[in-house]
Amino acid sequence: MGKVSPIPKSRAGAEASVRRRRRLSRRLLFRRLVEGWWRRVPSGLAFWLSFLLLHVFLFLPVVLMDREDGSILPAISIAGQSPSQVWIQLSTWRRGPDLLRFNSEIILLVALWAVVKPIRRATIRIAFVAFYILFFFYYIYEGSSVTFFSVEPVFYGQLRMATEGLSFFLQNARVTSAFVAGILLLIAGGAVAVARLSRSVLPETDPGRLTRAVLVIMALFVIGQAAARWADLNRPEMVFSSVTAKIARNIGASQRMHREVQRLERVEIPIEKEIISYELVRRPPIYLIFIESYGSVLYKRKDWRARYKELTERLDQELSAGGWHVASALSLAPTWGGGSWMSYTSALFGLRVSSDPQYYALLDKYGSGGYPDLGSFLKEQGYRNYRLTALSIGLPPEHWERYATFYGVDRWLLYEDLNFVGPEYGWGPAPPDQFSLNLARETIRGESEGPYLFFTITQNSHYPWTPLPELVQSWQTLNLPGPAPPPSSELIEHSERRQNYWNAIEYQMEMLTEFILSEPNEEAIFVLIGDHQPPRVSRREDGWDTPMHVIAKDDHFVASFEEYGFTKGLAVWEPEPTFWHEGFRSLFVRLLLAEYGEGEALPPYLPGGVSVEERPGADAAPH
């Protein structure tokens, strides 16, 4: 066969030029159709459509983020409500986010534009577009803070988390240039759309008497609300909210948090160091396992509660048949929807750690060690402190060394120590928890002849809760090469997301039950604690409490927790929190010494943890 002659460059270039002209002509045709339709819309209608669209765009991201409570139209409760209560829902306050909400600053500026002719300048319109974009990002920031972490936005509290989290994400998420370009194009397109709409809400011509009248009434209503309810205008539940009020509250909260952190940096933590004088006669191995996203929301939704009841009753029977006893309580976590490190640090340190700056102040102060936490007490008793982090994405070695010193860890098992070659799952990603925990225990028992504290936090129940590994008979078989599971997607129905969460919790509870049943040491103590409520599938009304379980074969030791609000079994059927994470350290040490120590005197139980109060003459230097 002869050679096929290539298409001449001039011909190929001509064909490409034709294709470009066709695409351009289609775009121009679409643009003309849209602009032609828009020109035929009466100016008054165009004004109000643009006015409403600008507000819809502000609140749309929040509605999309909050799949539990968000709705397109307001959810107004009428049954059993008085007319005034219905009016408040319509005009002032609604709990769940929706699209029929307004920004006070936009209303005031548009009203001024309609009434005061001298301000109708192009520079004002440009400033409007710039401020609108800033407002848009602030509403996204507020919505993500409230939806994912159930906390009001505080710049000082979230700046370090945001910057370090973004850096961690960019380093490990393999962000492509196409993704970055798409984000930039989306922002640019949004700015162009806002600029177009601003020409309708800030027209060069007179908007009309009726439009002016309605705007003046809305502006007066906004001013009245500012005078009567300024303290509420920062709340996301307000129908007419103010970014000025939100930023003012944010700055005030940031200043207060900064002062609290400064106080923490100045004073010594007044924790009872004298507990090192107590001695354990028997030293059982202790497993402290935090369960990611294991929240009391499981009690507070009827469908989950029914399934959770069935699951816990079945697992209780399995544990009981193996000779294990269980006591459980609901414990108030210091964080919601994320920030696991604050939750488990509160439990280990016996100190409430509820913000990122507070956590890093502790890390800076005790990064070289010296804090008398649970691990340091046990090390004084001859324990060896082990910790497992199975995430495949890691930190530089110097960071691990600093954290190991901070928590008093003797041996930190990392992903590299697992020698895992099988498929990885979920956030991280990470190996199956069934494999990681069993290999860690095997490693610890192989190299430690004395007692040990083993701490870890599970990975497979981390958001987005899919894909999940299978629970297998022999955990060693999980370490075989195989295809990677398909990645998760955000583009799913909310019911499917809820099901994914349940599947992850069911996997963890069954896996941990099997892990406990296979424990060879009859004296071992297991403590399972939820770190926080799950994001996306819970809401603030579900509370901040999470389940806590103490499991051992020593019936007397487990029963001793009942005096402090714990009940028998895995489930707590009166789901009210009776405990705090920061109270765990003092209670556990007290009851451990009561059961396995010598002497009648016991250290105190501090339900709310130690308090940090600045005392006169306190040394300003870190200890």
pLDDT at 34: 46
pLDDT above 70 (res 20): no
pLDDT above 70 (res 619): no
pLDDT above 80 (res 490): no
Mean pLDDT of 25-32: 51
Give dist(CA 370, CA 383) in Å, integer.
17
Q: Which residue did the predictor score with more confidence, 163 or 65? A: 65
pLDDT above 80 (res 174): no
pLDDT at 270: 65
* 216 exposure class (CB count in 10 Å sphere: 0-12, 13-18, 19+): middle
For 86, list phi and psi in degrees, rounded to 5: -65, -40
Domains of the chain: 39-254 (no CATH), 281-480+492-596 (3.40.720.10)
pLDDT band of residue 316 (cuts 50, 70, 90) is very high
C-alpha 534: how far from chain center? 7
Q: Tell me: the pLDDT tens digits for 209-229?
A: 899 999 999 999 999 999 998
* 43 exposure class (CB count in 10 Å sphere: 0-12, 13-18, 19+): middle
Q: Are 388 and 413 within 8 A, CB to CB? A: yes
pTM of the model: 0.82
Give me the DSSP letters along 205-237.
Answer: S---HHHHHHHHHHHHHHHHHHHH-GGGTTSTT
Taking the chain, what is the end-to-end CA distance rounded to the nearest angstrom?
Answer: 86
pLDDT at 245: 95
Rounded to 5°, the CA angle 300-342-412 comes to 115
pLDDT at 16: 60
Q: Tell me: the pLDDT tens digits for 360-415?
A: 999 999 988 888 899 999 999 999 999 999 998 878 888 899 999 999 999 999 99
Q: Tell me: the pLDDT tens digits for 86-100?
A: 899 999 999 889 999
Q: Residue 354 has which token pair?
A: 């509820």
For 290, the enclosing helix (H) or strand (E) is strand 286-291
pLDDT above 90 (res 189): no
pLDDT at 514: 98
pLDDT above 50 (res 172): no
pLDDT band of residue 348 (cuts 50, 70, 90) is very high
Q: Residue 116 has which token pair?
A: 């005061």
Task: Report cis status (omega within 30 of 0) of the bond before 577.
Answer: no
479-to-256, 324, 474, 519 alpha-carbon distances in Å:
50, 29, 10, 21
Q: What is the mean pLDDT of the chain?
A: 87
pLDDT above 60 (res 26): no
For 529, list phi and psi in degrees, rounded to 5: -135, 135
The residue length of the chain stands at 623
pLDDT above 70 (res 8): no
pLDDT at 205: 84
CB atoms within 10 A of CB 92: 15
pLDDT at 611: 78
* 204 exposure class (CB count in 10 Å sphere: 0-12, 13-18, 19+): exposed
Q: What percent of the chain has pLDDT over 90?
A: 60
